[in-house]
Structure 1
């Protein structure tokens, strides 16, 4: 399973991810947080699975943060 945010199967509530918020898409600025809800229904998405973080921020997952990152 890939550690990028394009596969829905690799994302689940409670994991830490880096997302790009809609307003940050032009710059690619990342926001780190813990997944609360998965908003994308399809199994994969070329721009990343859309999630809501526990902070309330919504964006597309760019990477999954593993232990020690």
Structure 2
């Protein structure tokens, strides 16, 4: 299981847990499929920012391994 701080680990269509801006304090996670990768940098300490297929935006906290 990978965290979402390296851009190279994230691909379009990946199933991920993200924390949206309004949930940063509570740490509430939203699960979805990556539609777009918004962060241009190769690394971000708080997680790469992505847009989910639901058009919600958040920082990736965990990349879910779909092999389980």
Q: Into which bin does the TM-score normalised by the smaller protein fall?
A: over 0.9
Q: Deviations over 1:11-57 (max 9, x none)?
A: 01001000000010010000000000000000000000000000010
The correspondence of residues 26-65 of structure 1 with structure 2, limited to 5 A, is 26-65=25-64
Q: What is the TM-score normalised by the length of structure 1? A: 0.94
What runs of 5+ residues in structure 2 fail to find an aligned partner?
none
**How many equivalent pairs are there?**
67
TM-score, structure 2 as length reference: 0.95
Measure, in 2, the Cα distance between the counterparts of 1:46 and 1:34.
Answer: 21
In the TM superposition, structure 1's runs of 4+ consecutive aligned residues that sit over 3 Å from their partners are: none
Structure 1, gaps ≥5 residues long: none
Cα separation, 2, equivalents of 1:50 and 1:3: 15
Q: Distance in 2 between matches of 1:11 and 1:5?
A: 7
